[in-house]
Amino acid sequence: MTFSYPTERRAKEAEIRIREIARRAREEHRRQSFRNQNGRPSVEKRDIIDAAPLNDSALPIDVQNSHVQHHNSINSNVKLADINGNPTTTAEPASADLAQLISSKNRPANDSSIGGSSEIMRPLKPPSRDAIIAWFREEELANGAGLDDDRLAVAPWFHGIISRTEAEQILAGADLGSYLVRVSERIWGYAISYKAADRCRHYLIDVTAGKYTFLGSQQSPHDTLGDLVRHHQKEPITAAGGEVLILPCGQSDPQHPDHQCLFVGTRYAIT
């Protein structure tokens, strides 16, 4: 008879080790985010408004570019940047072990050097546009991401892989409270772009283990992207900002939507 106790023990130890390293990475990120350098914040003044913790513990995250994910990725070299990738400062990896785990993300699932774990290890951020498209089509579409409540059509608020600048151009002539949800270029997730009174605000949505929540916040996660949007059609994203999602902002050219590449070959493609 063959016993699998050593393998199971290694897998459990590896899982505990990964969680501990990820926890330390998150702590390092939080410390670095609020650390002053030469008496000045490490992020631009215009972003401090969105970065400050609020009563509901939400963090509008257009200044962060980290993704700590147990099943999909592990955060190592945390870079603070706005959603367009303009870096502000870089934190060191939480430990050498973390860097080693990241470098082994392409190992086979049965590789005993990582405890036989079958977890999917992704790069810290999408390496290419094609990688984002593949991720959306293979994982997110099956979860109804970007679709209306009945999953019969693309949701009116959903946009493709567009930049922060492009989102602001779309929202430029829209009414206050208008919003759109776009596929992020910088993390495995999304971003809500919202037309506020002073400017457009941007909030990163992290996708971790099939749950959707604002990156860096302590808000309760949602089962689907649509659930998160519906929730904030009634409840503000932040207590101080009062950002209720009122008016979905659709496509500038419905016959050539910016999300077409995500739905090619599916029932949702424009033909």
3-state SS class at 231 = helix
Segments in the chain below pLDDT 70: 1-15, 17-18, 20-120
CATH code for the structural domain at 130-263: 3.30.505.10
Give the pTM.
0.62
Per-residue confidence (pLDDT) for residue 270, from 0 to 100:
85
Q: What is the pLDDT of residue 79?
A: 40
CB 14 within 8 A of CB 117: yes
Residue span(s) of the chain under CATH 3.30.505.10 come to: 130-263
Give 113's contacts (C-beta < 8 A, 6+ positions apart).
104, 107
Cα diameter, the chain: 71
| Residues 6+ away with beta carbon under 8 Å from 55 | 239, 240
Q: Are strands 200-208 and 189-195 parallel, antiparallel or unpaired?
A: antiparallel
Q: Are 213 and 220 in contact (CB under 8 A)?
A: yes
- Residue 76: CB atoms within 10 Å: 23
